[in-house]
Amino acid sequence: MTTLSKPDLRPANPNFSSGPCAKRPGWSLQALGNAALGRSHRANIGKTKLENAIALTREVLQVPADYRIGIVPASDTGAVEMALWSLLGERGVDMLAWESFGAGWVTDVVKQLKLPDVRLFEAPYGDLPDLAAVDFDRDVVFTWNGTTSGARVPNGDFIPAGRKGLTICDATSAAFAQRLDFAKLDVVTFSWQKVLGGEGAHGMLILSPRAVERLETYKPAWPLPKIFRLTSGGKLIEGIFKGETINTPSMLAVEDYLDALQWAKSIGGLDVLIARADANAAVVADWVAGNPAVDFLASAPDTRSNTSVCLRFTDPAVAVLDDAGQQAFVKGLTGLLEAEKVAYDIASYRDAPPGLRIWCGATVETSDVEALTPWLDWAFAQQKAALKAAA
């Protein structure tokens, strides 16, 4: 990393944030011209749009026909919380955590729900816990892709088909960019603002027939607020999964999600979305392979994310710094890139080890990632020179 002169080429789109993520190529406000603004979401026009959002989600994400899909409040967090508070407690729970959001679900289950039979399987950022030690006759809660660590499960092979418990999977930074094994998943959640670059505040809750059966046969010992209630009189509230949302959705955000889904379908659907993310991540991987100053935070190649690509600095001059020093180095480097309007929001998550987090999801153009890497070299050289001068 010795480049000192500024590169000639800049990314056409400098948005590499891991959420909200870059809008789809060619997006403009004109794409939302048909939004049902000022209309009730319960009117035919609003309900039809919500139904279409569910139908297109099923088609593009390749969700099995017998799985329910609902639009719920409060982004992916709301969807996960609904699942945890509505489904857990019937049997013991195995909690898997290897980054910030997985750790958050552990806190909910242990300190808020206070379930008596919880086993924790934890790993540091960049690693996965021992998946072979998980007992799937218990309920299991995990993230498919660690948004803040860049480490993902390689596939669903570690989940047995004949499990007795439910699998609850936070897939918010995996859906539409990684192939989810729905046969192994009973609850899947995600939010609109990740791989498809939609707007925030809305979550998606996908339930298998086994999850529906649990909802209809098990009643938690604790009261559920209205916003979490998925059943009435011991039966699933089917309307939630037919476009009748629990609370009022933003019809502007719904229109934006529909636009993103229609774009995804137009370019070839899930296979193409995955291929786009893979191609973007491959550009970063090639850059890392040629730069001894950086490495992936995820230690094993088959667990490295193709969306939230997390990097750490291995250059001796930076690695020797304490946590505060490395944070300052990252802040300086990313500040240079932002000032040049080359890359926005690529510092590592606040709870993660200091480094970079580059979003490589399907709405990002590979040409923009290719244009970014020389700028990373430039900014690193500038910041390292400043570090040396201050020593």
- Per the DSSP assignment, residues forming a β-bridge with 69 are 206
Q: What domains does the chain contain, in order, with CATH numbers? A: 29-266 (3.40.640.10), 270-390 (3.90.1150.10)
Tell me the per-residue pLDDT of 289-324, one tens digit each, with 9 for 90 and over.
999 999 999 999 999 999 999 999 999 999 999 999
Q: How many helices (H) and strands (E) does the chain have?
A: 9, 12
pLDDT of residue 345: 98
Residue type, 5: S
pLDDT of residue 1: 44
pLDDT of residue 4: 72
Check if the beta carbon of residue 203 is closer than 8 Å to that of residue 78.
yes
Mean pLDDT across the stretch 348-369? 98
Token couple for 134: 């998980």
Comparing C-alpha atoms, which of 181, 88, 179, 199 is closest to residue 141? Answer: 88
pTM over the 0.95 mark: yes
Task: Residue count of the chain, please give it.
Answer: 391
Share of the chain above pLDDT 70, in %: 99
Q: Name every residue whose Cβ is closer than 8 Å to that of residue 223 and which is 6 or more positions away in sequence.
A: none
State how far Cα 15 lies from the chain centre.
Answer: 16
pLDDT of residue 391: 80
Tell me the per-residue pLDDT of 11-29, one tens digit each, with 9 for 90 and over.
999 999 999 999 999 999 9
3-state secondary structure of 133: helix
Mean pLDDT across the stretch 267-277? 98
Q: Could you count the other beta carbons within 10 Å of the beta carbon of residue 331?
A: 13
User: Which secondary-structure segment (H or E) carries 205?
Assistant: strand 202-207
